């Protein structure tokens, strides 16, 4: 009974390690600081471990819950990594366009638009 409680507590603490990152990514609506290598290794590690634990004759429910919750959090993080990259790409397209000349001139203070010749 005590070992089962230890397993549940350990699994939930391990699972909750991703929660601060998930909150940050959700608030910022992007995952720019996370490398694809890290995310993909984490994703495939979770999937393979879940398959292994699920195939064992003795069901380890704390581990299955851990892997399921980690996969959900990881997929949300990956979603924002992709969505953030798309938003960044759309902004970079806007930044590279040249503003019309009249917009540039009209944005200058009045004394700079007059010819002093």
pLDDT at 44: 94
87 half-sphere exposure, CB direction, 13 A CA radius: 11
Q: What is the pLDDT of residue 103?
A: 46
**pLDDT score for 14:** 85
**Distance separating alpha carbons of residues 102 and 91, to the nearest angstrom:** 22
Domain ranges of the chain: 2-107
User: How high is the pLDDT of residue 84?
Assistant: 84
What is the per-residue burial (b if ≥16 Cβ within 10 Å, else e) of 56-66? eeeeeebbeeb
Local mean pLDDT, 10-residue blocks, the chain (117 residues): 88 88 91 91 92 88 90 93 81 56 50 53
The CATH number corresponding to 2-107 among 1.10.3720.10, 3.20.20.120, 3.20.20.140, 1.20.1280.290 equals 1.20.1280.290
Which pLDDT does position 76 carry in this prediction? 93
């Amino acid at each position: 009974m005590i070992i089962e409680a230890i397993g549940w507590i350990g699994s939930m603490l391990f699972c909750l390690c991703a929660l601060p990152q998930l909150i940050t990514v959700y608030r910022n609506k992007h995952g720019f600081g996370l490398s694809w290598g890290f995310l993909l290794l984490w994703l495939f590690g979770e999937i393979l471990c879940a398959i292994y634990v699920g195939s064992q004759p003795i069901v380890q429910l704390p581990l299955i819950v851990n892997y399921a919750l980690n996969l959900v959090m990881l997929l949300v993080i990956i979603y924002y990594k992709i969505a953030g990259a798309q938003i960044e790409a759309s902004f970079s397209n806007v930044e590279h366009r040249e503003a019309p000349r009249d917009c540039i001139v009209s944005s200058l203070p009045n004394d700079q638009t007059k010819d002093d010749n």
